[in-house]
């Protein structure tokens, strides 16, 4: 007999398929869809170089303290403990993705990055696709919202990677209110790709970044965060687009200094 936990896992893995029929024709902009912040950060490579987006102070810190500095950085950079497959199984359908080239990389690969480098983008996309193949009524939102060290050729490489991985699973950009589960199921689309770069206007299956705005509270105070979220939800609902409610607290430099050895979980998450 399956445990209750096992039943819950099955339910979360196919929660879109299990929604009542009355919601099948509801625009997805009207549904609350769970997502993760820095979705790829379950794997951050402490042996990697520091990401190109990091300020000179961080670069200098790592150059002086080396591996020790990177171990401390990881405690503040890793916002997830589950890989893509586990997140999907737990019901996550929105992924926050930040892409970078790696200095002096002979293979000229693309990587997920947040301060330090994470896994190769190709591997992550394929992992998500494997889940979608097994769960044909589930839909994911891939939000490519930061690009570091990328030239036109790198964007072309990423676009081709998306084509090769997802093909017709990707939904072309249309009016947001037209996107319902019923529409996507009929078209056999399972992926909406949001791309915060001018490149998006050149490719039919890339949704412009402004169709997925993500207002940021930038606070360590839970009360201020809640007030910000309430105000932004009211405003965004008027726009008729998808939008993100970032239910995250952001450490200040002073927060990191005070809890440098503790990390994000102990210092911020408990709040």
User: What pLDDT does 258 receive?
Assistant: 77
| Given 24, 114, 154, 189, the catalytic residue | 114
What gap in Å lies between CA 200 and CA 173, rounded to an integer?
10
Q: Verify that 253 and 123 share a domain, yes or no.
A: no
Provide the domain limits for residue 176: 4-211
Q: Return mean pLDDT, the chain.
A: 90
Mean pLDDT of 76-85: 93
pLDDT band at 91 (very low <50, low <70, confident <90, very high): very high
126 with 91, same domain? yes
How many domains does the chain divide into? 2
> Do 232 and 147 belong to one domain?
no
Q: What's the pTM value of the predicted model, to 2 decimals?
A: 0.92
Q: Specify whether 77 is located in the same domain as 180.
A: yes
Sign of CA dihedral 230, 235, 238, 239: negative
Q: What is the pLDDT of residues 2-49, one digit of tens each?
A: 444 555 566 899 999 999 999 999 999 999 999 999 999 999 998 888
**pLDDT, mean of residues 154-166:** 98
Q: Does the pLDDT at position 179 exceed 70?
A: yes
Lowest mean pLDDT among 42-56, 91-105, 215-229: 42-56
In this structure, are 144 and 191 located in the same domain? yes
For residues 16 and 58, membership in a common domain is answered with yes
* Same domain assignment for residues 99 and 158: yes
- Would the pLDDT of 62 be above 80? no
- Regarding whether 249 and 189 lie in a shared domain, the answer is no
Based on the domain organization, do 225 and 109 belong to the same domain? no
Side-chain half-sphere exposure of 64, counting CA atoms within 13 A: 6
- Clarify whether residues 58 and 83 are in a common domain: yes
**114 classed as catalytic:** yes
Paired tokens of 109: 């690969």
């Amino acid at each position: 007999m399956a445990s209750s936990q096992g039943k819950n896992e099955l339910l979360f893995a196919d929660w879109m398929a299990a929604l009542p029929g009355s919601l099948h024709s509801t625009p997805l902009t009207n549904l609350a869809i769970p997502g993760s912040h820095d979705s790829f950060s379950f794997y951050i490579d402490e042996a990697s170089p520091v990401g190109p987006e990091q300020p000179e102070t961080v670069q200098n810190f790592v150059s002086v303290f080396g591996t020790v500095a990177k171990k401390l950085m990881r405690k503040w950079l890793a916002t997830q403990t589950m890989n893509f497959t586990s997140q999907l199984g737990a019901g996550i359908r929105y992924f926050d993705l930040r892409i970078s080239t790696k200095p002096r990389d002979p293979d000229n690969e693309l990587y997920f990055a947040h301060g330090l480098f994470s896994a190769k983008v190709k591997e992550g996309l394929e992992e998500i696709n494997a889940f979608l193949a097994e769960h044909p009524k589930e839909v994911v939102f891939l939000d490519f919202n930061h690009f570091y060290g990328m030239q036109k050729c790198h964007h072309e490489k990423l676009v081709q990677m998306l084509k090769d991985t997802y093909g017709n699973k990707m939904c072309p950009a249309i009016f947001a209110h037209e996107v319902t589960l019923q529409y996507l199921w009929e078209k056999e689309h399972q992926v909406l790709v949001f791309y915060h770069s001018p490149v998006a206007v050149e490719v039919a299956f890339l949704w412009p970044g402004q169709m997925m705005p993500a207002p940021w509270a930038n606070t360590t105070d839970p009360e201020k965060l809640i007030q910000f979220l309430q105000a932004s939800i009211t405003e965004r609902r008027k726009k008729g687009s998808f939008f993100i409610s970032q239910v995250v607290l952001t450490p200040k430099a002073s927060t990191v200094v005070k809890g440098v050895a503790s990390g994000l979980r102990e210092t911020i998450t408990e709040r």
